[in-house]
Amino acid sequence: MTARTRTFRIFAAGAAVVLAAAACSSGGREKTDDTASGGGNAAGSSGYTIAFITHETPGDTFWDKVKNGANQAAKDTGVTLKYSNDPEAPKQAVLIQNAVDSKVSGIATTLVTPDALAGSVKAATDAGIPVVGFNSGLDQYQKLGALMYFGSDETLAGTTAGKRLADQGAKHPLCVIQQTGSVALEARCAGVKTSVPGTENIQVNGADDAAVTSTLQAKLAQDKSIDAIVTLGAPQALDAIKAKEQAGSEAKLVTFDLNEQAATEIKNGNIVFSIDQQPYVQGYMAVTSLYLNIKNGNDIGGGKPVLTGPSFVDSENIDKIIPFTKNNTR
């Protein structure tokens, strides 16, 4: 306890010094009016509660955007949103079961491990709770009994990206997988490989930028014939830029997904294009479609999955998209 008090005191003292100095430094936060709130109804005014369940590993910027979309949709439709997540399949199944037990009005869930989740999804449909799939589970969502699906076709995204690379003359792309054993990431690389047979995969530790950079640098030094790099997440694209500089490689860099810095690098020409699966739309549509289904009996997609990607971001449309990346919605 004393240690804490002491720490706190040191901090308070430090903060006081800083605030007293209050030296205005450039490059910091743009001071805007934080209190301005978006429009929309007050939460919960429509009376529905929707459980929103993902396999997010905490700390991934991608899921931030999915959540932002879901929250905005909840605000717009007056729905109470209950967010929960667990990267492990059995625990995600328990989360779905929890939602069923607490008698929510609808469930939106990712179906990344369909076999493990089938039981819980069935419990939901048996209880008469509508289920919508999003982000992953394109091939299995109907079999599991989910009504609609919003997400990207990872293989299609990979093939399309590969085609664009092939058009630009790439023969030997390096596909960078930042997470072990992810079906979705492997599918992207497999898609690239169908378009460019010379594609090679490499596994990196996505939790450590220094490790990603030196691993890629080593790979680029080892194999000079690599003429394109495909990263599967925006942070890894930024590491790849550093690795390219170090290794003196001229490989073209393309990436899946976006963030603010990656968008800037697209504008600067360091990243040729990004394949965006529009996570914001996935979250937004999953919630909105459930709202419409409960309120009005609607279904979206005509019995087919609704694809939110691949959507390409390159030098042509980047100027329009940069402001949205700053809002953390793209």
Partner 1 sequence: MSQTVEAAPAPAPSSEPSGRVRAGLASRLMARPEIGALVAAIIIFIFFLSLAPSFRSAESFFTVLYQASVIGIVAVGVGLLMIGGEFDLSAGVIVYTAGLSASMFCWYFGVNLWIGAILSLVFCLAIGFLNGYLVMRTGIPSFLITLGTFFVLQGANLGVTKLVTGTVSSTDVSNIDGFDSLGKIFASSFKIGSVTVWTSVLWWILFVALAAWTLQRTKVGNWIFAVGGNPDSARAVGVPVVRTKIGLFMAVSFLGWFVGMHQLFRFNTLQAGGGVGNEFLYIIAAVVGGTLLTGGFGNAVGVAIGAFIFGMTSLGIIYAGWDPNWFKAFLGVMLLLAVLVNLYVKKMSTTRKVG
Q: In what order do the strands lie in the sheet with 306-309?
A: 80-85, 49-54, 106-110, 131-134, 148-152, 306-309
The region of 9-17, 45-53, 154-162, 298-306 touching partner 1 under the rule CB under 8 A is 9-17
Q: Which of 24, 33, 38, 169 binds partner 1 (CB under 8 A)?
A: 24
Q: Which of 222, 225, 269, 302 binds partner 1 (CB under 8 A)?
A: 222
Q: How far is CA 19 from CA 15, 24, 26, 142, in A?
A: 6, 10, 16, 57
- C-alpha 190/C-alpha 160 separation (Å) is 11
Q: How far is CA 70 from CA 60, 77, 322, 328, in A?
A: 16, 11, 21, 13
Which residues in the 114-173 window bind partner 1 by CB under 8 A? Answer: none
Which two tokens mark 111? Answer: 């179906």
Q: Does 239 bind partner 1 (CB under 8 A)?
A: yes
Name the residue type at position 268: N
Q: Which of 194, 207, 304, 317 binds partner 1 (CB under 8 A)?
A: 207
The three-state secondary structure class of 48 is coil
Which residues in the 270-329 window bind partner 1 by CB under 8 A? Answer: 328
Of the pair 164, 330, the CB lying nearest partner 1 is at 330
Q: Does 91 bind partner 1 (CB under 8 A)?
A: no
CB of 64 to partner 1, least distance (A): 5
Q: Which of 88, 101, 139, 223 binds partner 1 (CB under 8 A)?
A: 223
- C-alpha 195/C-alpha 326 separation (Å) is 33
Q: How far is CA 72 from CA 40, 112, 136, 288, 294, in A?
A: 9, 24, 21, 10, 18
CB of 130 to partner 1, least distance (A): 30
Which residues form the interface with partner 1 (CB under 8 A)? 3-4, 6-7, 10-11, 14, 17-19, 21-29, 31, 57-61, 63-64, 180, 202-205, 207-211, 214-215, 217-219, 221-223, 235, 238-239, 242, 246, 259-261, 328
